[in-house]
Structure 1
Amino acid sequence: MNKKEFVRQAKIIKNQLYKTAYLYLGNEANALDVVDETIYKGYKALWQLREEEYFTTWMTRILINECKKELKRLSRIKCQESLVTKQSQDYDYDQLPLKEAIRSLPTQLKDVVILRYFSGYTLAEAAKALNIPQGTVVTRQRKALKLLKLELGEEE
C-alpha cells in the first residue's frame, strides 16, 4: 500500500475509528486525540501491513492499543488528582445505564462488545482485530451479554 492509498483508506475509516475510541474513552476530546495518534502510528508503520485487505482490522488493533494506553494514562492522572485534592471526582460522561454497564465490564469482554455491537464487526473480524480465536470471541460475547443483562436487569 502506498502513502496516497493509506490517506484515502484512513479517511474512509476515520469515523468508525472515532466511534470505537469514544466508546472506549467516553470523552470526545480524548477519542479525537487517540484517532489522530492511531492514524499517525499507522502511517509510520505502514511498511508492517502485510495484506491490504486487513487495513481496517490493522488500524482498529492500533486504535485499541492506543485507547488502552490512554485509559492507563487517565487513571494515573485521576489517582494523582485524588491524592492531591482528596475529593471524589464528578464525571461529565453520559450517565446512561448501558454505557456505564459496558464501561464496568472487564477489558476483554468490553473489547468484544464494542467491536461487535458498536463498530459493526463480524465474529471473524473481531477475532482478527483482537488476535484471538473466533470461538473465544463467541464465549466472551456470551459472557459479556449475560453480565450486561444482569447489571441492567437489576436497575429496572
Structure 2
Amino acid sequence: MEYLVRKALKGDPNAFVELIEGSRQSMYKIARSYFSNEDDIADAIQDTIETAYRSLPNLKRAEYFRTWLIRILINKCIDIIRKNRKESPVEIFPDQGAPCAELKNCEFEELMCSLDEKYRTVLLLYYGEGFKVSEIAQLLDMEENTVKSRLSRGRSKFRAVWSGQNASF
C-alpha cells in the first residue's frame, strides 16, 4: 500500500484510484455506521475522495494513508450530520433499505444500528476495520481511555441487545 501512496504522491492518478478502490469497503462500512440513508453514505464517500485527492500532497507519511483517509471520512460524516440538523427541524425517519441478501448480515446491521453512534463507530473501527485503540483515539480525537470505555460499554450493550433478541427465538 505504501508503494501506491508514494506513486499517488508523485502524481499518478491510477495509483490514487487503486488506493481508493482498496479502501472502498471500509469507507462504506464506516459511513454506514453514521447513516442509514444511501444518499448520505454516497455523499460522505464522494466528499472524502475529493478532499483526499486535493489534500494528498499534505499527507506527511505514506504508512498513515488509511488512517488519514478514514479521519477525513469521519469529518465528512459529521459535517453532513450537522448540515442535516440545520436544514431539517423535524425528525427524519431513515429510508427503508433494500432487503438484505443474507438474513445474518441484516440482523447484525440491525443490532449495530440499535447502538448509540459513539459505541457503534468505535466497535466498527476496532472489530470491523482492525484499528488499534491508539489509532481510534487519534481518528476520533479522544483519549485512549475513552475509546477503551466505549469499547467495553459498546460490547456490553451489544451483548444485551443480542441476548434480548435471541431470547425471543
TM-score band, normalised by the shorter chain? 0.7 to 0.9
Equivalent residue number for residue 55 of structure 1:
65
CA gap 1:122/1:12 in 2 versus in 1, 3 angstroms: same
Equivalent residue number for residue 133 of structure 2:
123
- From 5, 11, 29, give the equivalent of 1:3: 11
- From 20, 32, 50, give the equivalent of 2:30: 20
- From 91, 96, 115, give the equivalent of 1:92: 96
Cα distance per residue 1:87-133 (max 9 Å; x no partner): x8474147956434433434432221121223332334323322334
1:138 counterpart = 2:142: no
- Residue correspondences, number: 150
Letter in 1 for 2:96: D
For the Cα contact (< 8 Å) 1:20–1:118, is it kept in 2? no
Equivalent residue number for residue 103 of structure 2:
none
Classify the secondary structure of the residue corresponding to 1:111.
helix
How high is the sequence identity, in percent, across the aligned residues?
A: 25
1:50 Cα deviation (Å)?
1.3
Classify the secondary structure of the residue corresponding to 2:21.
helix
Q: Which runs of 5+ in 1 are unaligned?
A: 83-87
Equivalent residue number for residue 77 of structure 2:
67
For the Cα contact (< 8 Å) 2:48–2:73, is it kept in 1? yes
Q: Which runs of 5+ in 2 are unaligned?
A: 1-8, 101-105
Decide which moves more: 36-45 or 114-123: 114-123
Give the TM-score taking structure 1 as reference length: 0.75
Decide which moves more: 142-151 or 53-62: 142-151
- For 1:122 and 1:77, locate their aligned partners in 2 and report how far apart those are by CA, in whole Å: 36
Indicate the RMSD between aligned Cα atoms, in angstroms.
2.9
CA gap 1:43/1:152 in 2 versus in 1, 3 angstroms: same
For the Cα contact (< 8 Å) 2:133–2:147, is it kept in 1? yes
For the Cα contact (< 8 Å) 1:98–1:152, is it kept in 2? no
